[in-house]
Amino acid sequence: MKNEWIVIEVKVKGEFVDLISAVLAEHGSSGTVVEELNLDTFVVPDSDLNLSGDYVLQAYFDAVSDPQQLVSEVEIAFRNIPVLKKQNITFKLGASIRMEDWAEDWKQNFSAFHIGNHLVVRPSWEDYIPQLGEVVIEIDPGMAFGTGTHGTTQLCLEVIAELLDRPDPPVTMLDVGTGSGILALGAAALGCQKVVANDLDPVACIVARENINKNHFDEQIEISEQPLEKLPGRFDLIVANILAEENIRLRQAFMEHMRPGGWLVLSGILKEKEPLVRAGFADLALEFFPSRYQEEWVCLILRRSVMASPS
């Protein structure tokens, strides 16, 4: 498992923060920080950025043998973007960061919290005595998205908890883009009998496997790195906490993996993109239930028609 990350620092005007963060992600950045603002997969850039002000973006890349060559490759990529050609953008190699340092920073802001009536999520460094009827899962931050503190993750966990508390709870679940494995763990802890945690990122799969082993859910949760289109099986519940556009792209694959009467929970979606995602699923044999909201995020809940024929 990779344990060290290279940091490339980019000095840029505020009006180009969004664009440059997106380009850095396309060229392999695992996360971007602008000063003290996290710009990872789901976090919205601060709307109060001074458009004419100067900001330093720190982009995190997998460690390579020649970091300076990586900086050069990133510079070349930006020189090919017309709108940036006349901008005074500087690139330099920053200090590398180890996973232990990254995880240590999380400890300041991550403590045990409750989801629904039964689930408790806690970090390993914090003791918690479960009350009657509570189940506890332990998650430590690593270089994979998901400790449960993010709004999209909490929305998904809340819906999972409610569905598993129904008289006819889902028996099987597919977690698309599992990250740390927290959604899969939450479902297993709440009684889902079989969960497949799917992610194309091998680091995420390693982190998820470690968390699953630590919580002793090896028999209930299977890790898969296969593309969703090639993954076998059909499920009572599919949860996808990924970007809005990815949810739409995978819509047919979701249908092929969802049993008639099965549930589909979609998040990682900004409120402003909810109409886009709804439109993307409107022509499918799915019933829309009321959406859930937290801050700028939305979670969509859909159910496949019981009478739907197999895809």
User: Residue 207 maps to which CATH number?
Assistant: 3.40.50.150
- 281 and 253, same structural domain? yes
Mean pLDDT value across the chain: 84
Which residue, 80, 103, 126, sits at the end of a domain?
103
pLDDT at 38 over 50: no
Confidence of residue 257 (pLDDT cuts 50, 70, 90): very high
Whether 183 contacts 156, CB under 8 Å: yes
Residue 12 inside a domain? The answer is: yes
pLDDT at 244 over 60: yes
| Residue-level pLDDT at 277 | 97
- 114 and 78, same structural domain? no
- 142 and 47, same structural domain? no
| Residue-level pLDDT at 53 | 81
| Residue-level pLDDT at 29 | 80
pLDDT at 142 over 60: no
Mind giving me the DSSP string for the chain?
---EEEEEEEEEEGGGHHHHHHHHHHTT-SEEEETTEE-SSSPPPPTT--TTSEEEEEEEEE--S-HHHHHHHHHHHHHT-GGGTTS--EEEE---EEHHHHHHHHTTT---EEETTTEEEE-TTS---PPTT-EEEE---BSBS-SS-SHHHHHHHHHHHHHHTSSS--SEEEEET-TTSHHHHHHHHTT-SEEEEE-S-HHHHHHHHHHHHHTT-TTTEEEE-S-GGG----EEEEEEES-HHHHHHTHHHHHHHEEEEEEEEEEEEEGGGHHHHHHHHTTSSEEEEEEEEETTEEEEEEEE-TTPPP-
d(Cα 200, Cα 226) in Å, to the nearest integer?
7
Most confident of 29-43, 83-97, 198-212: 198-212
CA 232 vs CA 179, 227, 253: distances in Å: 20, 10, 11
- 248 and 178, same structural domain? yes
Query: For residue 227, what are the contacts with CB-CB under 8 A and spacing of at least 6?
Result: 200
pLDDT at 1 over 60: no
- 258 and 151, same structural domain? yes
- 133 and 68, same structural domain? no
| Residue-level pLDDT at 143 | 46
| Residue-level pLDDT at 86 | 79
Q: What is the mean pLDDT of residues 142-156?
A: 68
pLDDT at 291 over 90: yes
d(Cα 292, Cα 151) in Å, to the nearest integer?
11
- 163 and 44, same structural domain? no
Confidence of residue 88 (pLDDT cuts 50, 70, 90): confident
Confidence of residue 27 (pLDDT cuts 50, 70, 90): confident
Counting the structural domains of the chain, the total is 2
pLDDT at 30 over 80: no
- 287 and 189, same structural domain? yes
CATH number for the domain spanning 97: value is 3.30.70.120
Which residue, 87, 103, 119, sits at the end of a domain?
103
- Among 202-206, 246-250, 253-257, 283-287, the minimum mean pLDDT is found in 202-206
Whether 25 contacts 227, CB under 8 Å: no
Domain that holds residue 248: 109-304
Confidence of residue 102 (pLDDT cuts 50, 70, 90): low
The tokens describing 110, both together, are 């991550």
Which residue, 86, 103, 120, sits at the end of a domain?
103
| Residue-level pLDDT at 188 | 97
